[in-house]
Amino acid sequence: MNSGKNRCDHSQIDELLKSAPGQFEETVIISHLDHCPDCRNYLEHHAADMESWNEAARSLRETEFDVASSMEYSAAGIDSLKVSTPAAIQSVLDSLTPSEHPDRLGRLEGYEVTGVVGAGAMGVVLKAIDPALDRIVAIKVMATHIASHATARKRFAREAKAAAAVLHPNVIPIHAVSNSGAIPFLVMSYVRGGSLQKRIDREGALTTAEILRIGSQVAAGLAAAHDQGLVHRDIKPENILLDEGVERVTLTDFGLARSVDDASITQQGTITGTPQYMSPEQARGEFVDQASDLFSLGSVLYTLCTGRVPFRADSSLSVMRKIIDEEPAPILELNPEIPGWLRDIIAQLMAKNKTDRFKSAKDVHDLLEACLSHIQQPTVNKLPDGLRALSRSKSTSSLPLILGVCAMAVCSALVVWLTGGLGLIIQEPAPKTTPVVQQESTEASPAEAPLTWKALLGEEAPENYPTEPFQAIDGLNKTVGNWGFAGEQLLDGKGSEFEAVMQVQGGLSSDTISLGRMPSWHISILWPAMEPVFSLNFTVVPAIEPDGVKWLLFAASANDGKKHTSSESPVNVDPDAAFNVSKLLWAKAPGEKFFFEGTWDPASRTLNWKPQTPQMLGTKVGPAEHGREFQMIISENGGLQIRNFHQNDKQQISGQTAVRLGEYLKPGTDLKMLPNGYKIFFASSSEVLLVDKENGGVAGARVDKIGCSGSLIFGLITPREQVEKPEDTLGYFWLDSTTGEITKGMELGGWKDALKAKGVAQPMLLAPERVGPRL
Amino acid sequence: MTEFPQTRASLIAQVRSSEDREAWDQFVFIYRPVLYRMARRRGLQDADAQDVVQTILMRVAASIHRWEQTSPETKFHHWLRRVARNAMISAFTRQPKEAAAGGSEMFEMLAEQPEDIAGIEEELAIETMREHYLRAAAIVKGDVDPETWQAFELTVVRGQSCDEVATTLQKSIGAVYVARGRVMRRLRGQVQSMQENDR
């Protein structure tokens, strides 16, 4: 065909482009394109404009962020060769020889590959059948793209050699090694059950018994490796496998292991290992011996206790800096259920100076074993002597703190008291609803009746009431992750949207609880900030209606610490009509009374609270600057804004939510900001969680009943077997959130009397919950 | 990092019409990876980046109840884009005011890296476009035979010459031109329709 410019028929190219891009074709017009630049040019421009071609090239190019899998830290030099995990798997699968069985992925030197277990920095782990022995094995195949890399091959060979040398029930057995073929691989036992990391991801912090069981087995495996002169160097939860059904823990991935005297491969200064679990000497790139594995084991145990890694930072480098310079957050603050002696063991494992750690992995194993026997049978097996002395002195020394009224210490003191003072350390998950507890529910007094829609409003729940329950907090080892109000702080008359979100981790699941949409809100505005004297309390109930959410004002009250004034509640508000809410008043000083009146303006959907001139004779009107105006704007779509027009007051907001659980409205999360800046959560029926000012330190404790009345928060603590009669409680505490004062009582008679003495006649118990179905 | 069922279960329950729900799903589908990459580029690690992304999405989700259809022309997805754009830009440009209340560690980190809004908008635009191309590529790739796709990928994305690729694939040069032209045309079409939906 002539390639002359004018004779080319571009309509054929148009047709070509429009036709489905199925398979390659070879036609006359296509072979014309082989040598006609003009037609090619035409084709390019009519396929898409130049900008699109460039955009496509730029957009589809791989970047370093394409791999969204978990972090992989391999040795320097290998990182640059990393390809995306799916691609690594694909390339390994592509290299297999076809299998005769159609349901298998392929064959690798006699092994029938049936699946992919996972992929890591260095290779891919396949699941396969060993036909010779008819057993299932795991085959670790070096990733094809690094198989040509000499260092990687050496490291792989070393792993094989190291792992094969250690024969121990807690170390993964190596069946075969192939280092001669194009792609080296390693045949290991197949462990059904997944890694410890998966377990942590799923469950968060573990129980003390589990931590000891896993810790002692890892220590045993390490001891065996250390006996062979090996240092594992990469002890982390991903490398600890849990056998399904069998209580056995297996140490795997000797990919970074090396003999202490083998300095040939890893150069000085080359960083290997996972930063989060590295020892300080590893982080500094120094000589590493067995003591380094002990530090990493300590970090793993720390993670098991708290559900999070000890050193967290934005980059590997910062993590390593922290490992070298900083102490991790105290375990006590993150999980007060961990006994003091275990915290001490972990602290010793994680000593910055390696000579301060335990002498050997064997010693650690023996110690953890002894501790495990103790908690399994406390009366038969005593704690090892050194540990007992240590934990006793700790719990007594915390008592003076508890009795202190220092506001800053309130939160941690509360927890210390709950765990240490009463010795109420609960290792096992709370028992599922027992018959005894169920009985309690049916006999519950009216004050303890579940907060149902009906109880709140005196009517049946509307048909379109949200049926999706909030996720229950199952009450086990929970810690609060992030929480916060999405909105501006309620200051200086700026609008604020009251929307709160809380994440709770640990226990049986991780939950995110939106506090922003809930059956009822209890809002307290307290001031002044440091020493709240007044509180203005509202209960509002949002009703889901076809055209949006409506907030119904349920009750309003004011409290000045002496007087408690309530509105004529319940006040059901018709949002479409103007109305006045009852006056609220309090006296700041004798003869000085303040009146507030709430007025609902349907047009702006605003509830204004204004100081009112008192109508009674003989009362003195407070000076104008004492007047405070509040405004609540309730939007048609369910938003709630609170405005304060008083400039100097910083408000404390407390929100309280009742979580709908099954047929109950389960009071589930209650949140108070204490005057000292701490926040206290009742994260479940039986847990108190405390968050410090920086939202960092979180502590929790388990109590059996929690309640509140005004600013008073109280908890009842009973041993598990004695929940039958709350009056028989072993102890109780209350916390005055206005003063930060904490008071406790032990066997001082009925808790109800104690509360009466405090002026609380009808407490609202927040824990009738055990009766509710658990989700 | 676990998914947050709550985003859907409770917050999104407020999006009542199925059309709007679809718009939300589509939005999350495209913007989750976009935000993830932006967070990673600022030095956040995988889990932290996912946290940040989730928090931003939850903020957007939390504001859904404010959506009000004032006239038949106002569309939920337009409104959503606008709200989301503001949320994303503010997350990457300044420390949010509510940070003091909690969950702020990562945002503080982001805020330590002062950035101008224009730069963020540009990055957001580029990343969104990238996501559109990636999604479109996944669709087109499934529609054509592997070699046709390879002709496109090797030449356009990997920058090899058509002659070279023709040799690799054992096809004529003209066939490589046609194959990649067809792929490009389809790709462009897909991206365009996504961009229209996303506007």
Query: Domain with B191 in it: what CATH number?
Result: 1.10.10.10
| pLDDT for A301 | 95
| pLDDT for A620 | 39
Of A598 and A687, which is predicted with more confidence? A598
Best of A65, A72, A94 to substitute, by most chain B Cβ atoms within 10 angstroms, is A65
- Please give the structure tokens belonging to residue A696: 């960092």
Which stretch, A155-159, A196-200, A515-519, A700-704, has highest mean pLDDT?
A196-200
Interface check for A22 against chain B (CB to CB < 8 A): the answer is yes
A186 Cβ contact partners less than 8 Å away, ≥ 6 residues apart: A139, A140, A156, A159, A160, A163, A174, A176, A177, A178
| pLDDT for B102 | 35
| pLDDT for A4 | 42
| pLDDT for A20 | 67
Residues A670, A520: Cα–Cα separation, whole Å: 11
- Please give the structure tokens belonging to residue A469: 């329950």
Question: Which residues 104-163 of B are in CB contact (within 8 Å) with A?
Answer: 104, 109, 129-130, 132-134, 137, 140, 143-145, 147-148, 151, 153, 156-157, 159
| pLDDT for B83 | 73
Question: Chain B: nearest CA to A3, how far in angstroms?
Answer: 13
Collect all residues of chain A within an 8 Å Cβ-Cβ radius of residue B100. 489
Instruction: Classify residue B192 as exposed, middle or buried by CB count within 10 Å of its CB (0-12, 13-18, 19+).
Output: middle
Collect all residues of chain B within an 8 Å Cβ-Cβ radius of residue A510. 2
Residues B26 and B99 in one domain: yes
> Which of A38-42, A278-282, A407-411 is the least confident region?
A407-411
What percentage of chain A reaches a pLDDT higher than 90? 6
Q: Kindly tell me if the per-residue pLDDT of A477 is higher than 60.
A: no
Q: Kindly tell me if the per-residue pLDDT of A459 is higher than 70.
A: no
Burial profile A502-520: b = 16 or more Cβ within 10 angstroms, e = fewer: bbbbbbbbbbbbbbbbbbb
Q: Which of B140, B134, B127, B142 is nearest to B181 (CA)?
A: B140
Q: Which of A478, A472, A514 is nearest to A662 (CA)?
A: A472
| pLDDT for B12 | 45
Confidence of residue A714 (pLDDT cuts 50, 70, 90): low
What percentage of chain B reaches a pLDDT higher than 70? 60
Over residues A657-683, the mean pLDDT reads: 37
- Please give the structure tokens belonging to residue A64: 């370093």
Which stretch, A204-218, A519-533, A608-622, B86-100, has highest mean pLDDT?
A204-218
Residues B104 and B174 in one domain: no
Over residues B115-119, the mean pLDDT reads: 68
A181-220: pLDDT as tens digits: 777 888 888 877 778 888 888 778 888 888 999 999 999 9
Residues A333, A678: Cα–Cα separation, whole Å: 13
Of B10, B102, B133, the CB nearest to A482: B102
Residues B9 and B74 in one domain: yes
Q: Kindly tell me if the per-residue pLDDT of A393 is higher than 60.
A: no
Which stretch, A124-128, A452-456, A462-466, has highest mean pLDDT?
A124-128
> Which of A152-156, A319-323, A686-690 is the least confident region?
A686-690
Confidence of residue B154 (pLDDT cuts 50, 70, 90): confident
Confidence of residue A346 (pLDDT cuts 50, 70, 90): very high
Residues B115 and B168 in one domain: no
Q: What is the chain B residue with the closest CA to A200?
A: B1
* Summary mean pLDDT of chain A: 57
Number of compact structural domains in chain B: 2
Of A423 and A497, which is predicted with more confidence? A497
Q: Which of A325, A330, A168, A145 is nearest to A252 (CA)?
A: A168
Of A271 and A630, which is predicted with more confidence? A630
**What 3-state class would DSSP assign to A475?**
coil
Interface check for A695 against chain B (CB to CB < 8 A): the answer is yes
Residues B97 and B168 in one domain: no
Which stretch, A150-159, A580-589, B69-78, B143-152, has highest mean pLDDT?
B143-152
Collect all residues of chain B within an 8 Å Cβ-Cβ radius of residue A678. none
Confidence of residue A149 (pLDDT cuts 50, 70, 90): low
Interface check for A471 against chain B (CB to CB < 8 A): the answer is yes
| pLDDT for A322 | 83
Collect all residues of chain B within an 8 Å Cβ-Cβ radius of residue A22. 144-145, 148
Confidence of residue A547 (pLDDT cuts 50, 70, 90): very low
Residues B90 and B167 in one domain: no
Residues B53, B36: Cα–Cα separation, whole Å: 6
Residues A463, A455: Cα–Cα separation, whole Å: 16
Confidence of residue B123 (pLDDT cuts 50, 70, 90): confident
Of A56, A69, A514, the CB nearest to B11: A514
CATH number of the domain that residue B49 is part of:
1.10.1740.10
Interface check for A41 against chain B (CB to CB < 8 A): the answer is no
Of A698 and B74, which is predicted with more confidence? B74
Residue B175 lies in a domain: yes
Of A64, A314, A636, the CB nearest to B48: A314
Residue B89 lies in a domain: yes
Interface check for B79 against chain A (CB to CB < 8 A): the answer is no
Residues B28 and B79 in one domain: yes
Over residues A552-562, the mean pLDDT reads: 54
Q: Kindly tell me if the per-residue pLDDT of A336 is higher than 50.
A: yes
Residues B96 and B71 in one domain: yes
Q: Percent helix, strand and coil across chain A, each rounded to 5? A: 30, 25, 45
| pLDDT for A368 | 92
Q: Kindly tell me if the per-residue pLDDT of A475 is higher than 80.
A: no
Confidence of residue A387 (pLDDT cuts 50, 70, 90): low
Q: How far is CA A648 from the centre of its chain?
A: 36
Q: Identify the bridge partners of residue A587 per DSSP, sorted by sequence position.
A: A593
Q: Which domain holds residue B157?
A: 144-199
> Which of A57-66, A235-244, A568-577, B37-46 is the least confident region?
A568-577
Q: Kindly tell me if the per-residue pLDDT of B147 is higher than 70.
A: yes
B134 Cβ contact partners less than 8 Å away, ≥ 6 residues apart: A59, A60, B33
Q: Kindly tell me if the per-residue pLDDT of A36 is higher than 70.
A: yes
> Which of A124-128, A219-223, A351-355, A771-775 is the least confident region?
A771-775
Of A761 and B24, which is predicted with more confidence? B24
Of A653 and B117, which is predicted with more confidence? B117
Sign of CA dihedral A8, A14, A15, A19: positive
Residue B134 lies in a domain: no
Domain boundary among B105, B129, B153: B129
Residue B139 lies in a domain: no
Q: Kindly tell me if the per-residue pLDDT of A178 is higher than 70.
A: yes
Of A484 and A41, which is predicted with more confidence? A41
Residue B138 lies in a domain: no
Question: Which residues 477-536 of A are in CB contact (within 8 Å) with B?
Answer: 481-489, 499, 501, 503, 510-514, 516-517
Residues B11 and B75 in one domain: yes
Interface check for A267 against chain B (CB to CB < 8 A): the answer is no
Residues B12 and B62 in one domain: yes
Which stretch, A315-329, A402-416, A756-770, has highest mean pLDDT?
A315-329
Residues B64 and B152 in one domain: no
Confidence of residue B175 (pLDDT cuts 50, 70, 90): confident
Residue B58 lies in a domain: yes
A711 Cβ contact partners less than 8 Å away, ≥ 6 residues apart: A526, A532, A535, A559, A561, A736, A737, A738
Domain boundary among B82, B98, B129: B129
**What 3-state class would DSSP assign to A63?**
coil
A34 Cβ contact partners less than 8 Å away, ≥ 6 residues apart: B172, B173, B174
> Which of A27-41, A157-171, A296-310, A556-570 is the least confident region?
A556-570
Interface check for B5 against chain A (CB to CB < 8 A): the answer is yes
Task: Indicate yes or no: CB of A471 within 8 angstroms of CB of B5.
Answer: yes
Confidence of residue A746 (pLDDT cuts 50, 70, 90): very low
Q: What is the chain B residue with the closest CA to A43?
A: B181
Domain boundary among B81, B102, B129: B129
Of B13, B41, B102, the CB nearest to A466: B13
Over residues A454-469, the mean pLDDT reads: 37
Residues B124 and B153 in one domain: no
> Which of A46-55, A425-434, B161-170 is the least confident region?
A425-434
Over residues A87-112, the mean pLDDT reads: 76
| pLDDT for A565 | 54
Residue B137 lies in a domain: no
> Which of A220-229, A309-318, A712-721 is the least confident region?
A712-721
What percentage of chain A reaches a pLDDT higher than 70? 37
| pLDDT for A379 | 67
Collect all residues of chain B within an 8 Å Cβ-Cβ radius of residue A315. 43, 45
| pLDDT for A294 | 95
